[in-house]
């Protein structure tokens, strides 16, 4: 007679080094690179796009080293919420946790809506509802199996993306030197028109915003640290690769696109989930004589979208579970099954993902943009929280007489790193409204609505719970997180 397995008492530490590396690597490669890079070059020129992406890349590098120091010292699936609660205030941690959950739960819906648009490249007359249901079921199935189920799927999703970028770079360099696709192009496209920087200051700021969205997802390594077999070894290894992957996969890719495709090319501005045929990657592949480029890139971008949704489901579920454990969410959300999966939190998060079903009633592209507007600002708020939490953690660590040499991983350039990242995040948040030209107040309201919501949750909790900023000498530096 089979006995029902008892629920697990804690999350399973099942991520191996290869999972952590690919979660970190795959987190920053997605539609922001495959699609948004084309619009960035068209808007600010090849030089402007490089400057904007390099600035955001440097900011993300400092953020990831800050997160690396926190996650190796205190690996916890609550990550941002846990750090913010301990090193800033419980009210701040409460707001950060719900902001993070909302951000990624809505991202699931946004990515599902995008997937239904992409799949219509092959099946134009098929119903959106059925595709949303299918993709949601796949993501739910991968996450309900175990943490390892998510880790394995993300590992292979990341390999597809990495392989595509590497092939693109190799073909692109060969084309630049005239080995493929005809004669060498040199720097002709960089000096075209008013290049290499085009569109002025506001165009550069606009690309800076787009680059910020492109890099969101790299912070998921902080959540995954809570289920790593050896976080003190695996997390630093993954974090150290951030700088190089940003340099190779973003900066180098944008450089290649800028060299090969004029920023005046009309198709670059049309890059979007509903027009894969004009992805800058597709344009370069087709220029190299690869006629099947559109279909291949469509499949790769579909895998990227599903990867983002899969990661969003994993991360938001784990943070919701951790908040329930800390008494910041209903206790029943902390229930685990026998495989260590927080099923209740997963079901609630998936229910929010069902918002994607609205795509079948209101039009795919409209819902996708609406959902992105609803969650876009939240990612920058999460990054601000990382910078503030790390700054306070390091100050508390020293204030309590601890030796910095004992830290398993130490972020370089402190305090410059978190301060620089904090200031650039503020610039990104302020610039989201894009106040140049004619002002669209509805778009501005949709863009900034996350800020008053975040502040309301923060100060509401503070008022009700009489929460206060934790003095540095009283910050909890114990490493007994569950």
> What is the per-residue DSSP string for 106-168?
HHHHHHHHHHHHHHTTT-TTS-HHHHHHHHHHHHHHHHHH-HHHHHHHHHHHHHHHHHHHHHH
In whole angstroms, how far apart are CA 37 and each of 241, 273, 380? 22, 13, 19
- Whether residue 71 is contained in a domain is answered as yes
User: How far apart, in whole angstroms, are the C-alpha atoms of residue 406 and residue 393?
Assistant: 14
For the chain, the farthest-separated pair of C-alpha atoms sits apart, in whole angstroms, at 78
- Whether residue 482 is contained in a domain is answered as no
Provide the number of structural domains found in the chain. 1
- CATH code, domain with 379: 1.20.1740.10
User: Which of these, 63, 105, 61, 161, lies nearest to 319 by C-alpha position?
Assistant: 105
pLDDT digits (tens, 9 = 90+) for 354-381: 776 665 566 555 665 666 666 778 888 9
pLDDT of residue 84: 92
- Whether residue 475 is contained in a domain is answered as no
Helix (H) or strand (E) holding 423: helix 416-430
Name the stretches of the chain with pLDDT < 50: 1-3, 9, 482
Q: Which tokens is 317 given? A: 């579920």
- Whether residue 282 is contained in a domain is answered as yes
Helix (H) or strand (E) holding 319: helix 293-325
The residue segments making up the domain with residue 360 are 17-465
pLDDT of residue 110: 78
- Whether residue 479 is contained in a domain is answered as no
- Whether residue 256 is contained in a domain is answered as yes
pLDDT of residue 482: 43
User: How far apart, in whole angstroms, are the C-alpha atoms of residue 216 and residue 253?
Assistant: 18
User: Which of these, 474, 371, 419, 409, lies nearest to 103 by C-alpha position?
Assistant: 371
- Whether residue 9 is contained in a domain is answered as no
pLDDT of residue 371: 62
User: How far apart, in whole angstroms, are the C-alpha atoms of residue 268 and residue 287?
Assistant: 14
- Whether residue 476 is contained in a domain is answered as no
Torsion angle of alpha carbons 57, 152, 150, 161, nearest 10°? 40
pLDDT of residue 240: 76
């Amino acid at each position: 007679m089979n006995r029902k397995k008892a629920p697990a008492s804690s999350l399973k530490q099942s991520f191996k080094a290869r999972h952590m590396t690919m979660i970190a690597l795959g987190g920053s490669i997605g539609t922001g690179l495959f699609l948004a890079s084309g619009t960035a070059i068209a808007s600010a020129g090849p030089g402007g796009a490089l400057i904007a992406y390099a600035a955001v890349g440097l900011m993300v590098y400092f953020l990831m080293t800050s997160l690396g120091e926190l996650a190796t010292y205190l690996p916890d699936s609550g990550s941002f919420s846990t750090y913010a609660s301990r090193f800033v205030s419980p009210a701040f941690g409460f707001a950060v946790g719900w902001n993070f959950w909302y951000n990624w739960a809505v991202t699931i819906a946004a990515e599902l809506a995008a997937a239904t648009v992409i799949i219509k490249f092959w099946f134009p007359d098929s119903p959106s509802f059925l595709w949303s249901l299918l993709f949601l079921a796949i993501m739910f199935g991968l996450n309900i199996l175990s943490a390892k189920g998510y880790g394995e799927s993300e590992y292979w999703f990341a390999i597809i993306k990495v392989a595509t970028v590497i092939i693109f770079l190799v073909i692109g360099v060969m084309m630049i030197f005239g080995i493929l696709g005809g004669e060498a192009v040199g720097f002709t496209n960089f000096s075209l028109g008013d290049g290499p920087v085009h569109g002025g200051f506001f165009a550069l700021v606009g690309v800076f915003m787009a680059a910020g969205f492109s890099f969101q997802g790299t912070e998921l390594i902080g959540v995954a640290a809570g289920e790593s077999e050896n976080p003190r070894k695996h997390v630093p290894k993954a974090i150290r690769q951030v700088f190089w992957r940003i340099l190779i996969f973003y900066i180098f890719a944008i450089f290649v696109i800028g060299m090969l495709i004029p920023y005046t090319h009309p198709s670059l501005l049309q890059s979007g989930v509903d027009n894969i045929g004009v992805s800058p990657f597709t344009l370069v592949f087709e220029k190299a004589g690869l006629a099947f480029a559109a279909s291949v890139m469509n499949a790769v971008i579909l895998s990227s979208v599903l990867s983002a949704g899969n990661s969003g489901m994993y991360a938001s579920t784990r943070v919701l579970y951790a908040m329930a454990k800390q008494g910041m969410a209903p206790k029943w959300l902390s229930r685990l099954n026998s495989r260590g999966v927080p099923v209740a939190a997963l079901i609630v998060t998936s229910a929010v993902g069902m918002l994607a079903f609205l795509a079948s009633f209101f039009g795919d592209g409209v819902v996708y943009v609406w959902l992105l507007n609803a969650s876009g600002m939240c990612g920058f708020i999460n990054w601000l929280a990382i910078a503030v939490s790390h700054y306070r953690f390091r100050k508390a660590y020293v204030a309590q007489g601890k030796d910095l040499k004992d830290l398993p991983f130490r972020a370089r350039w402190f305090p410059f790193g978190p301060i620089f990242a904090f200031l650039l995040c503020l610039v990104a948040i302020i610039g989201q409204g894009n106040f140049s030209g004619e002002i669209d107040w509805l778009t501005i309201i949709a863009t900034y609505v996350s800020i008053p919501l975040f502040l309301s949750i923060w100060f509401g909790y503070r008022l009700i719970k009489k929460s206060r900023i934790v003095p540095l000498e009283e910050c909890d530096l114990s490493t007994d997180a569950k």
